A = this chain, B = another copy of it.
Amino acid sequence: MTTFPTPRIDEVQALIAGQRWLDLRDQLSRWPAPEIADLLRELSAAERMLVFRVLPRTLAGDVFSYLEHDDQYELLTSLSQEETRLLLASLSPDDRTQLFEELPGQVTQKLLNLLSPTDLREARQLLGYPEESVGRLMTPDYVAVRPDWTIARALEHIRLRGRNSETIDVIYVTDDKWRLLDAVELRRFILAEPSQTVRSLMDESYVVLSAFDDRERAVEALRRYSLPALPVVDSDGVLVGIVTFDDLIDVAEEEVTEDFHRSAAVEPLRGNYLEIPVFELVQKRVPWLVALVFVNVFSGATIAAFQETIAAVVSLVFFLPLLIGSAGNAGSQSATLTVRAMATGDVRASDWWRLLLKELLVALLLGSAMAIAVGLLGVVRVGWQVAGVVALTMLILVLMGSLIGMSLPFILRRLGLDPATASGPLVTSLSDIGGVLIYFSLATYLLGI
């Protein structure tokens, strides 16, 4: 996929062994930051330091921001104060915020003291925004121009300020109080006549975020308008920074991971699964598991109520896992389809009725198919009477499971909860209760016990 020579660890180690620092530096400069970050992960702590030290300043910053948190921490602890100062200076403000967020408080304090006055003010401001907010993602390094400038002057300004700005793909137009007036893509400047004014490029229709917006809103905006960067304003409409698409892609991935975890009744986890400590994993998994134990108790209680039936026709129990399992499976399918459709915006709260009718039809067809399958199995094993009960139960349970799975996300959202909490395990446990009740009631009645 890539054409540059991807770093070969043995080559690098050879260069280190030979102390050929210049060659090493030269080699590394030809590789993109993510590759070097992966390489560092494979090296010994000592080698890692050596390689990191020979990296050109800015590249070092990029590479650092691609490292896992614990690798970052380890590096920081082994760097000299001066090296740390230089590293921090070479990080982009948004990467810096992310680093400070993740480090233990006192370490962050130490690092803040190493920042230049300007960077310090900046960092304090960014860290001032609520967690998960757009403010935490943004960088103040953008280029802004004034409406009355000519394109020529604007381009001159872009040349000057562009070097240390995160992106110049979009140029922002502000008034003299730095209030955002418009966002114009750099290409439009290139394609315009130098003598035109900036105003002539403005259409005053642009997407803007508040620094206090939840970062998910930024992701929605990216998906919807597919812009390389989005401007961020404070409550007075003053342009305080920008968020770039690459940061939002990372956020989007994190949010998706959280939804996956919820879908399996795991409290959302952050960071590399391999790095997460055992105790944290237990913490995130145990609440739902134990909660569901208590839900499942009702299935047990229901069965207890039917012990005569069971004692009379033990063969009924043979089909119990099959029946409640199928109800749960159908339910998980419906829940997942609905939750995901809500996440992508395909399904809105108002679509409930529409979906309900559709789901009924789908479940009816699914249930019939499975009733036939299990009925045939049953006849062979336990005769047509029990088989009939089992087949009928299967049909009803698949219907029930599907409806629970489809409706739960809507109910949760209505209650102001995250629809994604309608996890497979929750739906399964709920339909277990209903399943047991329906199964044994039907059996007791139809088999005249």
Contact = CB atoms under 8 A, between A and B. Distances in A.
A412 interface: no
A263 B265 contact: no
Contacts of A335: 264
B190 A336 contact: no
A174 to B, nearest CB: 13
**Residues of A contacting B: mostly:** helix
Contact of A337 (B169, B217, B266): B266
- 3 A-B pairs with the lowest CB-CB distances in the bound complex, closest first: A226-B246, A264-B336, A273-B341
Interface residues of A, number: 125
Interface stretch (A71-79, A101-109, A285-293): A285-293
A421 to B, nearest CB: 14
Contacts of A432: 321, 325
Number of copies: 2
A321 B296 contact: yes
Interface of A: 1-4, 30-32, 34, 155, 158-159, 162-163, 167-169, 186-187, 190-191, 203-210, 213, 217, 220-226, 228, 245-246, 249-250, 252-253, 256-257, 259-261, 263-266, 269, 272-274, 278, 281-282, 285-286, 288-290, 292-294, 296-297, 299-301, 303-304, 307, 310-311, 314-315, 317-322, 324-326, 328-330, 332-333, 335-341, 344, 346-347, 351, 354-355, 358, 361-362, 365-366, 369-370, 373-374, 377, 381, 398, 424-425, 428-429, 432, 436
Contact of A34 (B225, B263, B288): B225
B303 A30 contact: no
A148 to B, nearest CB: 21
A293 to B, nearest CB: 5
A256 B255 CA distance: 11
Contact of A274 (B190, B269, B324, B351): B351
Contacts of A34: 224-225
25 contacts: A1-B209, A1-B217, A3-B208, A32-B207, A34-B225, A155-B190, A159-B190, A249-B252, A260-B260, A260-B339, A273-B337, A273-B338, A278-B361, A281-B358, A281-B362, A285-B366, A289-B366, A297-B322, A299-B321, A300-B320, A303-B320, A325-B428, A329-B425, A333-B425, A424-B425
Contacts of A358: 278, 281
Contact of A366 (B207, B282, B296): B282
